[in-house]
Amino acid sequence: MKMSKITGRELPQFKVTTDPARPSDTAVGIEIEVENIRDEGQFKFNLWDMIHDGSIVNGIEFVSKPIWGTAIKDALDEIREVFKTNDPYLSFRTSVHVHINVLDIDHDQVEHLVLLYLLYEPALFRLHEAWGRYDNIFCVPARKSIKVQDGYAKLLSDLSQGRVRQDYVGYKYSALNPNSLARFGTMEFRHMGGTADMDEIDQWVNILLQLKSAADRQTTITEPRAVFSEYYDLLDIRDEDITDGVQLIEYIQMKRGN
């Protein structure tokens, strides 16, 4: 069953040119938190909204509209121009969140996306090791929290029955946040720390799009080269990731049946 039917949501449609450099035409939403920038009405965007973020100092969060294809590059270029003349402060409080649209796929493909994530979670964190997100309370890995693991078990159980709920892990700060499913029809990835480097964000978006493409294809999860394709060499995927990930998935699958 399509996730659009399960959630009752539809993605707004507008004409966008396909970008052959992207792993897919899947829509994404990008949220960029920065400190030390004030909105005095000087910023004009086509593809972003700006909101005040009270959780950070003089905080602004740039929130993209649903974007895909060439619009992703256009959106990042808009922020790039802002940062040329406005110097953001990027503290441990700031981060970048990427929402991947799943309204266009079936519930079993979302299940597959979750299993892929659980297997390769450590490698995705290593990519952002400089930010220390693995130990950040606003980005909790499944491997460090039974509560998060049990939340994913409930999610997989619900998906198999063609439903989703508002809250799976008791809070929204799991690294892969499934609570955005019911609200936006997305899975939210919170692994990236605050950055003003749009190329890094662009690369991260492509890795996540590749992960979703692998879920679409039902790619065998224990074949990382098949999962990440041209992005495989960017990720430090270790044998113990696969071993631990398989055990984690077995636990979650067991809890799912309870």
Q: Write the pLDDT tens digit of every residue in 36-53.
A: 877 656 778 899 998 877
- Let me know: does 11 contact 45? Beta carbons within 8 Å: no
Predicted pLDDT of residue 92: 86
Any bridge partners for residue 49, and if so which? 63
Predicted pLDDT of residue 51: 85
| Residuewise pLDDT in 10s, the chain (258 residues) | 999 999 999 887 667 788 988 998 899 999 999 988 776 567 788 999 988 776 666 678 999 999 999 999 999 999 999 888 888 888 888 999 999 999 999 999 999 999 999 999 999 999 999 999 999 989 999 999 999 999 999 999 999 999 999 888 766 789 999 999 999 999 999 999 999 999 999 999 999 999 999 998 876 778 899 999 999 999 999 999 999 999 999 999 998 875
Predicted pLDDT of residue 258: 59
pLDDT in tens, 232-251: 999 999 999 999 999 999 99
Spatial distance between the Cα atoms of 203 and 4, rounded to a whole number of angstroms: 27
- Let me know: does 195 contact 202? Beta carbons within 8 Å: no
Predicted pLDDT of residue 222: 81
Predicted pLDDT of residue 14: 67
- Let me know: does 29 contact 98? Beta carbons within 8 Å: yes
Predicted pLDDT of residue 40: 59
Structure tokens at 16: 């966008």
Residue for token pair 């799991």:
174
pTM of the model: 0.94
Q: Exposed, middle or buried, 205 (CB in 10 Å: 0-12/13-18/19+)?
A: buried
Amino acid of residue 86 = N
